[in-house]
A and B are shown apart, each in its own frame.
Chain A
């Protein structure tokens, strides 16, 4: 089993042990970065082709301006790649021996941290939709809890079926410790 003692997150308890950490699947991260990567390829192609098509831009005083534009585009691309990466990679789901913690990066300045205790879990579902998710084995895991709290969703994580099984086992153990069953947690009709 992977040693995850180095993992730190807000609100971690002293004796809490991290069992697993899930980020979005690499393909999902790549699909968000695709536009920036595509633009950078176009841009690099343009840098090579443009001087051939317009020889005037390599002559003074245009050449300095052309270099400045090239550099500015690269700078913007570098920053935008990291901004997109932060937005996607920093969505994280942490399973500990006590609870599930979901840290969601909504945008650059919005971050939501929510947690779920195992004994409140009623139902866990894994969903793999589409050809590529089926081939690459990634999808969503939906955790339904008792009461009015909203569903907990693991978005586009790798091996959703395995994650579902892990959560089910931990939920079962959590319920045994709390002395409850899924039925007794459910609100009365």
Chain B
């Protein structure tokens, strides 16, 4: 299960990185002014890389085993309760 989650996150991470690179390419390639293009890319890339890095850090900090265990015990709560 954790392997699948990691694989899904890898796809998401690569997808976001591709979109981010495309946005930078698009701004640099098609802006009418070079100065404005570099300034815009700087703003976009700084915030984007910050969010992307913190996203990866927070993802790998998640204790998936404990989280899945707690969520599965939560979902089986009614049947446990009816057993009383």
Contact = CB atoms under 8 A, between A and B. Distances in A.
A34 interface: no
A79 B19 contact: yes
B40 to A, nearest CB: 9
A75 B51 contact: yes
Interface residues of A, number: 28
B70 A79 contact: no
Interface in A81-114: 82-83, 86, 90, 92, 94, 103, 105, 108, 111
B62 A68 contact: yes
Interface residues of B, number: 27
B52 A61 contact: no
Contacts of B80: none
Contact of A62 (B51, B61, B70): B70
Contact of A83 (B23, B33, B66): B23
B10 to A, nearest CB: 14
Contacts of A7: 32-33
Interface of A: 6-9, 21, 60-62, 64-65, 67-68, 71-72, 74-75, 78-79, 82-83, 86, 90, 92, 94, 103, 105, 108, 111
14 contacts: A7-B33, A61-B63, A62-B70, A64-B61, A68-B59, A74-B51, A75-B52, A78-B44, A78-B48, A79-B16, A83-B19, A90-B26, A103-B30, A108-B26
